[in-house]
Amino acid sequence: MSMTSKQRVSTTLACQQPDRVPIDYFANADIDRRLKVHFGLASDDGEGLLRALQVDFRGVHAPYRGPKLHADLPERGVVVDDWGIHRIWIEHTSGGYWDYCDFPLQEATEEAVAAWPMPSPDDYDYAAVPALCRQHAEYGVYTGGAGLPDVINGNGMLRTMEQTLVDLFTDDPAGMLLTRRRVELQCEVLRRTLEAAQGGIDFVWMGEDLGTQIGPTISPDLYRRQLRPLHQRVVDLARAFGLPTMLHSCGSSSWVYEDFIAMGIKAVDTLQPEATNMEPAYLKSRFGGRLAFHGCISTAGPVAYGTPAETVAYCRRTLDIMMPGGGYCFSPTHALQDNSPTENVLAMYATAQEHGWY
């Protein structure tokens, strides 16, 4: 029986078998541009591209309507977001990316962190949420994302990664206050968004990068002391609305999956197969049926460096391992990078569309 995208995603997140694997899409701007040209779409037709790729997921977020809290620095080409994070554009041979810079709270005192302007939950347009949910009613709708609560990266973009890790080890008052302020605001925005959605959201996406390429970023004990209670708060909030959670974590992160299961997290995202203990067969054999999987298609493998035929073979191998019994969502591990040939990206999605059926 053919399913809607909403049914397909919900079935898969419950570790059950849908009609085909749900498909997701993330890409840098130049990949996005090239795909729209290929499909004859207007440059602003993001929805048309998602439909062309048969993507089953859609995100819904309450738009921010508040004032701009931090000024950009145009003389240096620095863009500053509403949390005060500084970004600068870095060119490279195949394109470019926004990198983090300045780290304005690196040496901040507790008093400076307390005074740092952040968005107010009152400045989001929750009244827009129901219409967005209705617009995407046939799809698997999520709210949140990899930045919820993302303490290591979110704080790190303001205080540097090094200082953020020191904060976690030492309970530095300034770092701990930054964490509390960010998480409080994020959870309140999430709560109001879920209330406004009136059942139109299917799952909550959250994130925390817990792995390097070769092992954990922090120890299990430190995770359980500092971050697990914050993650549990998001999971419990989603559960209060009857929703599952999926957690994004880069790198070698399977070391924490037993904690995730105990916490009630239902799915894990990214799944970089080149990182330690993140191979599809390893994940499927140890956690299949207890966690659903979203990712596994490396942005640093054949999609970037191989031929279309190698891309097809690679994607088919991943499907063969991850599909049995359900519980797998086909997705790139991260945003597809500018060095990925268009024909490889098209081959990747064509493989899921053709070979992802049960």
**Mean of the per-residue pLDDT values for the chain?**
98
- Going by pLDDT thresholds of 50, 70 and 90, the confidence category of residue 331 is very high
Amino acid at 91: E
* 259-281 per-position pLDDT tens digit: 999 999 999 999 999 999 999 99
Q: Strand 292-297 relative to strand 328-332: parallel, antiparallel, unpaired?
A: parallel
Strands 86-92 and 78-80: antiparallel
Query: What SS3 string covers the chain?
Result: CCCCHHHHHHHHHCCCCCCECCECCCECHHHHHHHHHHCCCCCCCHHHHHHHCCCCEEECCCCECCCCCCCCEHHHCEEECCCCCEEEEEEECCEEEEEEECCCCCCCCHHHHHHCCCCCHHHECHHHHHHHHHHCCCCEEEEEEEEEECHHHHHHHHHCHHHHHHHHHHCCHHHHHHHHHHHHHHHHHHHHHHHHHCCCCCEEEEECCCECCCCECCCHHHHHHHHHHHHHHHHHHHHHCCCCEEEEECCCCHHHHHHHHHHCCCEEEECCCCCCCCCHHHHHHHHECCEEEEEEECCCCHHHHCCHHHHHHHHHHHHHHHCCCCCEEEEECCCECCCCCHHHHHHHHHHHHHHCEC
Predicted local confidence at residue 124, as pLDDT: 98
Q: Is the model's pTM score more than 0.85?
A: yes
pLDDT cut 70: percent of the chain above it: 100
Q: Is residue 310's pLDDT more than 90?
A: yes
Q: Which residues contact 117 (CB under 8 A, 6 or more apart)?
A: 69, 70, 84
Query: Is the distance from CB of 233 to CB of 190 less than 8 angstroms?
Result: no
Cβ 69 vs Cβ 117: under 8 Å: yes
Flag whether pLDDT at 94 surpasses 90: no
* pLDDT, tens only, 141-186: 999 999 999 999 999 999 999 999 999 999 999 999 999 999 999 9
> Between the CA of residue 102 and those of 88, 126, 149, 166, what are the distances in Å?
10, 32, 22, 18
Which pLDDT band holds residue 1 (cuts at 50, 70, 90)?
Answer: confident
**What's residue 182's pLDDT?**
98
Residue 225 above 80 pLDDT?
yes
Mean pLDDT of 57-64: 98
The pLDDT, as a whole number, for residue 161 is 97
Q: What share of the chain has pLDDT > 90, as a percent?
A: 98
- Domains along the sequence of the chain with CATH: 5-67+106-355 (3.20.20.210)
pLDDT value at residue 263: 98
Residue indicated by tokens 């949390």: 83
